[in-house]
Amino acid sequence: MSGFTRGLDRFLSSLGEDALSTGCDRLDLLLGGLRPGRLYLVYGDPDPVEELLIHILVESLRAGGRAAYMLCGNYRVEKTLLNVEGLVRLLEESGLAAEDALKRVYVLCAFSADQQAGLIDEISDLLARDPEVRLVLVRDIAKLVTDDARSRSRAARSQELQGAALRLKQACAERNVPLVVSCRSRRGRGLLPMPEGGEFLRHLANVILYLHRSGRGAAYVRAHLLKHPAQVPRTVEYSLRRDVEVGRSTPPFRVSFEETVARLRKEFQKALVDRDRREAFEALVEAWSSELGAMSYAESLTLFDLMLLAAVVDNRSLIARLMKGFDDLRAEMGRLRERDAEG
Amino acid sequence: MQNEGWLLDVSIDGGDMVLWLKTVAGEVVEIRERYRPRFHVAPKRGVNIEELTARLEEHPSVYAVEATRRFASLRRRRLIDVVRVTVESVEDLPKVESFVRGLKEAGSLYDVDLRPVQWYLFRRGVAPSDRVLWTGVNGRLEEIRAVDDGLALEPPPFKPLIFSVDQGDRITVYDGEFKTSCVLEGGEATALSRFEEIVEERDPDLLVAESVSGTVRGLLDRAKALGFDLCLGRGGGGAPSGRVLLELKTFREVGLAGLVEKARFTLAPLGMCADWPAGKTIDSRQCYEAWRLGVLIPESRGGYGYVSTAWDLARRDRGGLILSPRVGLHENVGCLDFESMFPNIIVRRNVSYETVGPEGVDQSRPGFLGGFTRRFLERRLYFKHLRSRFPVGSREWVWCEQRQLALKLVLVCIYGYSGCFANRFGNVRVFQEINRVARRVLVQAMNIALERGFEVIYGNSDSLFVKKLGAARWDYEELAGEIATATGLPIRLDRHFRFLVLLSKASDPRTQAANHYYGKLMDGSLFCRGMELRRHDTPPFIKRLQMRGMKVLFDAESAEEVMDRQLPKVQKLVEKACGEIIRGEVEAEELVISKMLRRRPSEYASKQPHVVAAELGAEDNVIKYLFTDAGRVNPYMRVMPVSLLNGCHHGYDRKKYAELVRRAAENLLRPIL
């Protein structure tokens, strides 16, 4: 039959294609990298899932090309937005220019199930329009089945999701783009929790990966490979080198600032040897805090750059004030000298 | 003959729309009109319009079908072919809709998910409470049209009857001031029949009560159980036809004048729209305006999803600008406030769903959103300014206040609703653009103030706090005028403080706290934001202490006097209050904490005091409790709900309350100590 490709042929030919890295060697070994046209379903503890998605995103940007990142969630129930600050830090650590890399990421935000269905069609159009898109990520693909704003039967919502997920997988397969989707976990009958989204999504996925932290606050994440066309199910432990808080939400500027200050207090200030410098750090917090308006007004720099800039500006204003004080003293001394000379 | 009066209510009865009209002579008349609902349906791709029309004609409840052309979106650049389906009656509408959805030739349905009463009012172009002229023959409506009563202040002469039902056998009727007018008792049957007499005698247009639908239904059910027909309606029968049912809370908050504004904004019956949330209120107006422009109303599935680059998101996804407050005591401060800033940005910068795109705002044609926002903004500002001509609390002042407040509640939400996923026309870029313009405007205003020699001590989204040594009221007003000219947005001196204290964060005193301040105005009154005394969960004793502390602190002529003479007095006041608590001299009722329980107690993960109090037996959603021993390991021993307190209970945790008093005092005085 002309135009028909057998699954086995497709699978064998995909082995010859370049796989995208996850940003973690052990995961790459476990999964064999991210192969074009396959659907990877990642679920489990929210933090490691988000962390992995963002690392995959950065790796794809490092490889060149563009990526589409879709965030699904009803913000009235639970926000799902992109922590740009975290992403920027990771991009910079990877040696990428943040502005250029961020311009290469299409972000699609779906706040309702209807929007999600519409945006999945938009991704298909995007893939057809822009051949530079090399990766599609969808965070919390099944969340809006539970949290949708419109009152409809769960069956209707699930059906809509299934249709949309199938269209998305087909579009990615046609364009040879790996599709990575995440979802929340829910309790199942077995030892491991099940992914949200039902049997259809599990059936649709080529690869299913369950992630959970080894222990509370542990650095290592345990990854269980549950489904793979060429690997047997097994478990590995991994740790992503760069620790980054990502994907929770797009927090207000003030919240990002407070988090950064808290982190710097913990990671930097308490390591300062000189007591005066510790005090000086607190004075800088005051300076940043008093110019938070200007920092949040600037659109083109990252928060950390802005904090450094604000600190420099504050130092400059202190120098100017000291200089003025010094000039006043010098003038006063001159006057006293003149008076002495006269007297 | 032509009649004049007000449209009181509209409802559906079988195939008729029933209109209740109150004449200028005070008589209420019922008049009917045959109503056939309509909607539009587009053919699926590849199906021609005749094919679809032929299929639609097959349904027996379809009265008429007609091929027509309408605009597909608010951009109004492209007319599309659709079929207008007229249905025999409102009762047949669901089955016809269901039939159309099942047709393989039918694509999207339009103009379907508003209530038929709304569509009727859209088509007639009248809103409930409108002053109208109408003609009718034999109880059938021939013509009705709204008379422009312009900016009339007095609401229509609709008579309310406010009542409450206590324990089933006692009905209390209140007067217009919400004071008890009469109590109907003597057994359930007697109370019900006396209530019926009162309704007949007073012939109210509005029935106002708590949970009014349930209350009225309960009365009718009880009467039925007792074996008589309670008649509360005008057209005979039990159901209160010809009278509007209104929630007591809403009626108290916005009054009849406010409800009239809401009905005119939504074009929906008073009883229907009174308790609508802001989103639904705005949606109704948007649908009316779009329908008038010939735009098809899509089904309410929310606006289109948001697509941008991460770079764009990082730059644009920001809220209002906050210029950090300069913590401490300030003297002679002017608070300049942009008047209705966000609605004004929509109107004056042409920000609308169809004008904002990734490249900016299209100024070549007037925006949809600005079109109707302008009318209601002007109306609100008219009543707001008119209010100042009347003595506070006078009848006219109250009407102005109710009208402007009702409009304000809607107008402030247009901005937020513009990016909301529930908005069928929503566009997140509109929301972002409004914020972007607001941030720029605030920075522009700040720079003008700095150039004129003012110090900017705080700025928050739409207000700017400035001070200048020796500045008089007119200096601030002049500055406001200059900013208004430069920015093109109205701004005025909202408050002139003699003293103002801007606060830092309680959790981190080195960080400034936004929207936390208190001060004394030039007229001697006190004003505060973000203080304990504004919170519901602060005990009355601590609220009064903070208020007294402010009064004492600002009983001075200069900042020096505040610091040197008054501050020690406040400190003494606090120590005295702590002493009273430690000695147990404060009544337990004065220390009760009230907190709203938003979920069932079992749904809370932690044993917070109000959750524990609820579990122990608090009787309401607003949990009232007392700390009895806050240090106990067992959370159930830490608090006691008020319902379990007896009259002379003094067993509160004195140490805990003394700590709360000190904390409240510290929050007040921290920046100036």
Tens of pLDDT, residue by residue over B516-536, are: 999 999 999 999 998 888 888
Which residues in chain A touch residue B305, judged by CB atoms under 8 angstroms apart? 108-111, 115-116, 118-119, 122
Q: Is residue B127 part of a domain?
A: yes
- A221 with A265, same domain? no
Number of domains present in the structure of chain B: 4
User: Can you say whether the dihedral through the CA atoms of B322, B328, B329, B331 is positive or negative?
Assistant: negative
Torsion angle defined by CA atoms of residues B280, B281, B284 and B286, in that order, rounded to the nearest 10 degrees? -100
- Residues in chain B with CB shorter than 8 Å from the CB of A292 are 322-324, 512
| Res B419: pLDDT | 83
Residue A282: closest CA among chain B residues belongs to which residue? B510
* CB proximity list for A202: less than 8 A, separation 6 or greater: A41, A194, A195, A208, A227
Residue B77: inside a domain, yes or no?
yes
Residue B457 touches partner A, C-beta closer than 8 Å: no
CB B430 within 8 A of CB B298: no
Q: Is the pLDDT assigned to residue B150 strictly greater than 80?
A: no
Rounded-to-integer distance, Cα B80 and Cα B61, Å: 25
Distance from CA of B427 to the nearest CA of A (A): 12
B461/B573 Cα distance (integer angstroms): 36
Quote the CA–CA distance of A103 and B598 in Å, as a whole number.
42
Mark yes or no for CB contact B313/A250 under 8 Å.
yes
State the alpha helices, DSSP H only, in B349-487.
368-387, 395-418, 428-451, 473-487
B305 touches chain A (CB under 8 A): yes
Searching chain B, which residue's CA lies closest to the CA of residue A296? B321
B628 belongs to a structural domain: no
Q: Residue B514: closest CA among chain A residues belongs to which residue? A: A254
The Cα A299–Cα B22 span in angstroms is 58
Is it the case that residue B453 has pLDDT exceeding 50? yes
Q: Which residues of A touch B444 (CB under 8 A)?
A: none
The residue of B321, B511, B516, B599 whose CB has the most chain A CBs within 10 angstroms, and thus the best one to mutate to test that interface, is B511
Q: Work out how many domains chain A is built from and give that number.
A: 2
**Residues from chain A contacting residue B302 (CB–CB below 8 Å):** 111-112, 114-115, 149-150
pLDDT beyond 80 at A284: yes
Mean pLDDT of the B401-418 span? 92
- Closest B-chain CA to A150: B301
Q: Where are the beta strands (DSSP E) in B97-196?
A: 106-110, 131-137, 140-146, 160-166, 170-174, 180-184
CA–CA dist B512, A292 (Å, integer) = 10
Residue by residue, DSSP assigns A25-91 as HHHHHHHTSB-TT-EEEEEESHHHHHHHHHHHHHHHHHTSSEEEEEEE--TTT------HHHHHHHH
What is the CATH classification number for the domain harbouring A200?
3.40.50.300
A27: nearest Cα among A61, A53, A62: A53
More confidently predicted of A269 and B329: B329
Are residues A262 and A165 located together in one domain of the fold? no
Region A136-159 average pLDDT: 82
Q: Distance between CA atoms of B109 and B459, rounded to whole angstroms?
A: 47
Residue A266 domain flag: yes
Same domain as A174, residue A234? yes
> Contacts of residue A82 in chain B, CB cutoff 8 Å?
310, 313
Query: Are B314 and A102 a contacting pair at CB < 8 A?
Result: yes
The secondary structure element, H or E, covering residue A213 is: strand A207-213
Distance from the A102 Cα atom to the nearest Cα atom in chain B, whole angstroms: 5
Single-letter residue type at A297: Y
Residue B596: pLDDT band (50, 70, 90) is confident
Q: Are residues A160 and A305 in the same domain?
A: no
Q: Is B63 exposed, middle or buried (0-12, 13-18, 19+ CB in 10 A)?
A: middle
> What pLDDT, on the 0 to 100 scale, is given for residue A187?
77
CA dihedral for B492, B496, B497, B498, sign (positive or negative):
positive
Last residue of a domain, one of B528, B560, B581: B528
User: Where does the pLDDT of residue A269 fall: very low under 50, low under 70, confident under 90, or very high at 90 and above?
Assistant: confident
The answer, for B428 touching chain A at a CB cutoff of 8 Å, is yes
Which pair of tokens denotes residue B190?
Answer: 């007697």
A91 and A117 share one domain: yes
Given a contact cutoff of 8 angstroms between Cβ atoms, the answer to whether B465 and B334 are in contact is yes
Instruction: Specify if B661 maps to a domain.
Output: no
Band (pLDDT 50/70/90 cuts) for residue A245 is very low
* Closest to B488 measured CA to CA, from B417, B440, B454: B440
- Does residue B473 lie in a domain region? yes
Residues of B in contact with A300 (CB under 8 A): 315
Average pLDDT over every residue of B360-364: 90
Considering the domain architecture, whether residues B81 and B66 belong to the same structural domain is answered as yes
User: A112–B306: do the CB atoms touch at under 8 Å?
Assistant: no
Of A88, A108, A299, the CB nearest to B305: A108
CB < 8 Å to B503, chain A: none
The residue of chain A nearest to residue B307, with distances taken between CA atoms, is A108
Predicted local distance difference test score (pLDDT) of residue A246: 34
Q: Which residues in B lie closer than 8 A to residue A259 (C-beta atoms)? A: none
Residue A66 domain-assigned (yes or no): yes
Confirm whether B197 is domain-assigned: yes
**Residue B156 DSSP code:** P
pLDDT tens digits, one per residue of A111-131: 888 888 888 888 999 999 999
Indicate which CATH number applies to the domain containing B99.
3.30.70
- Going along B283-353, which residue ranges are E strands? 306-309, 322-323, 328-338
Q: Are residues A271 and A332 in the same domain?
A: yes
Total H helices, total E strands in chain A: 13, 10
Task: Specify if A85 maps to a domain.
Answer: yes
B7 and B94 housed in the same domain: no
Contact B306, A116 (CB under 8 A): no
Beta-carbon contacts of A234 under 8 Å, excluding residues fewer than 6 positions away, are: A30, A224, A225
**Residue B461 φ/ψ region, left for φ over 0, alpha for ψ in the -120 to 50 degree band, beta for the rest:** left
Length, in residues, of chain A? 343
In this structure, are A196 and A310 located in the same domain?
Answer: no
pLDDT of residue A1: 47
pLDDT above 60: residue B70: yes
Question: Above 80 in pLDDT, residue A2?
Answer: no
- Residues from chain A that touch B512, judged by Cβ atoms under 8 A, are 289-290, 292
On whether the CB atoms of residues A212 and A43 are closer than 8 A, the answer is: no
B106 and B220 housed in the same domain: no
pLDDT at site A216: 67
Residue A328: which domain range? Answer: 253-342
CATH code: domain of residue B375: 3.90.1600.10
In terms of domains, do B194 and B213 share one?
yes
Which residues of chain B are within 8 Å of residue A150 when distances are taken between CB atoms?
300-302
The answer to whether the CB atoms of A107 and B459 lie below 8 A apart is no
Residue A294 reports pLDDT greater than 60: yes
Q: How confident is the model at residue B168 (pLDDT cuts 50, 70, 90)?
A: low
Residue B21 to residue B28: CA distance in whole angstroms: 6
Residues 6 or more apart whose Cβ sits within 8 Å of residue B551: B526
Phi/psi of residue B449, each to 5°? -60, -45
Same domain, B141 and B14: yes
Q: How confident is the model at residue B16 (pLDDT cuts 50, 70, 90)?
A: very high
How far apart (Å, rounded) are the C-alpha atoms in residues B244 and A138? 49
Token pair in block for residue A91? 């991009």
Same-domain pairing of B84 and B130: no
CB–CB of B549/B520 below 8 Å? no
In this structure, is the dihedral angle defined by the CA atoms of residues A233, A235, A240 and A241, taken in order, positive or negative?
negative
Residues B135/B3, Cβ–Cβ less than 8 Å: yes
Asked if A234 and A266 sit in the same domain, the reply is: no
Q: What's the confidence (pLDDT) of residue A84?
A: 78
- The average pLDDT across B650-669 equals 88
Is residue A155, in this structure, part of any structural domain at all? yes
In this structure, the answer to whether residues B327 and B429 fall within a common structural domain is yes
Q: Does B438 touch chain A (CB under 8 A)?
A: no
β-bridge partners, B184: B171
Do the Cβ atoms of B510 and A286 come within 8 Å? yes
What is the β-pairing status of strands A179-183 and A133-139?
Answer: parallel
Report pLDDT digits (tens) over B18-27.
999 999 999 9
In terms of CA atoms, which chain A residue is nearest residue B324?
Answer: A290
- Mean pLDDT value of segment B301-306: 70
Residue B263 has pLDDT above 90, yes or no: yes
Per-residue pLDDT at A16 exceeds 70: no
Nearest CB neighbour to A293, from listed B308, B321, B421 = B321
Domain boundary among the residues A238, A263, A279 is at A238
B303, A282: Cβ pair inside 8 Å?
A: no
Asked if residues A72 and A181 have their Cβ atoms less than 8 Å apart, the reply is no
Chain B: give the shortest CA distance to residue A179, in Å: 18
- Does B491 have pLDDT greater than 50? yes
- Are residue B223 and residue B99 in the same domain, yes or no? no
- Domain enclosing residue B333, as ranges: 315-528
Considering CB atoms only, which of A102, A105, A293 is closest to B322? Answer: A293
Q: Is B647 contained in some domain?
A: no
CA distance A195 to chain B (A): 24
Q: Do B394 and B523 lie in a common domain?
A: yes
Residue whose entry in the numeric block shows the structure tokens 């919170």: B535
Q: How many CA atoms lie within 13 A of A69 on its CB side?
A: 29
User: Most A CBs within 10 Å: which of B280, B308, B311, as the mutation test of the A interface?
Assistant: B311
- Give residue B460's pLDDT: 92
Considering the domain architecture, whether residues B236 and B349 belong to the same structural domain is answered as no
| Confidence tier at B8 by pLDDT (50, 70, 90) | very high
Asked if A107 and B421 come within 8 Å (Cβ–Cβ), the reply is: no
At B214, the amino acid letter reads: G
Which residue is closest to A81 within chain B, CA to CA? B313
% of chain B with per-residue pLDDT over 70 = 98
Beta-strand pair B491-504/B512-521 = antiparallel
Residue B152 within a domain: no
Answer yes or no: is the ipTM higher than 0.85.
no
Size of interface A-B (CB pairs under 8 A): 108
Per-residue burial over A6-43, b if 16 or more Cβ lie within 10 Å, else e, is eeeeeeeebeeeebbbbbbeebbebbbbbbbbbbbbbb
Give yes or no: residues A163 and A312 share one domain: no
Does the residue A243 lie in any domain?
no
Q: Do residues A260 and A157 both lie within one domain?
A: no
Question: Residues of chain A whose C-beta is under 8 A from some C-beta in B?
Answer: 69, 74-75, 81-82, 84, 87-88, 99, 102-112, 114-116, 118-119, 122, 149-150, 250, 252-254, 258, 282, 285-286, 289-293, 296-297, 299-300
The length of chain B, given as a count of residues: 673
Residues B586, B543: Cα–Cα separation, whole Å: 14
Q: Is residue A1 part of a domain?
A: no
- Which residues contact residue A131 at a Cβ distance below 8 angstroms, ignoring those fewer than 6 apart? A175
Angle at B135 between CA B132 and CA B138, to 5 degrees: 135
Q: Which of A105, A115, A297 sits opposite B421 (nearest CB)?
A: A115
- Mode of pairing for the β-strands spanning B622-627 and B593-596: antiparallel
How many helices (H) and strands (E) are present in chain B, helices listed first? 19, 27
B302 touches chain A (CB under 8 A): yes
Strand partners of residue B62: B87
- The position carrying tokens 């109503």 is B35
Whether the CB of B382 is below 8 Å from some CB of chain A: the reply is: no
| pLDDT recorded at residue B405 | 93
pLDDT for A247 equals 31
Q: Give the closest of B301, B305, B310 to A150, CB-based.
A: B301
Q: Are residues B358 and B472 in the same domain?
A: yes
Residues A221 and A268 in one domain: no
What mean pLDDT is predicted for residues B22-41? 94
pLDDT interval class at B68 (50, 70, 90) = very high
Task: Work out the minimum CA distance from B145 to partner chain A, whole angstroms.
Answer: 36
CA distance A74 to chain B (A): 8
Domain boundary among the residues A238, A264, A285 is at: A238
Kindly state whether residue A82 falls inside one of the protein's structural domains.
yes
pLDDT of residue B544: 93
Nearest CA in chain A to B461: A293
B187: pLDDT strictly greater than 90: no
- Which residues are CB-contacts of A100 (< 8 A; sequence separation ≥ 6)? none
- Closest chain B residue to A72 measured between Cα atoms? B305
As a whole number, the mean pLDDT across chain B is 90
Q: A140 and A193: one domain?
A: yes
Q: CB-CB: which of B323, B324, B421 is closest to A111?
A: B421
Whether residues B26 and B66 share a domain: the answer is no
DSSP run (H or E) holding B230 = none
Which residue in chain B is spatially nearest to A83 when comparing CA positions? Answer: B314
Q: Which of A238, A264, A283 is the last residue of a domain?
A: A238
Question: Which of B302, B305, B322 shows the shortest C-beta gap to A122?
Answer: B305
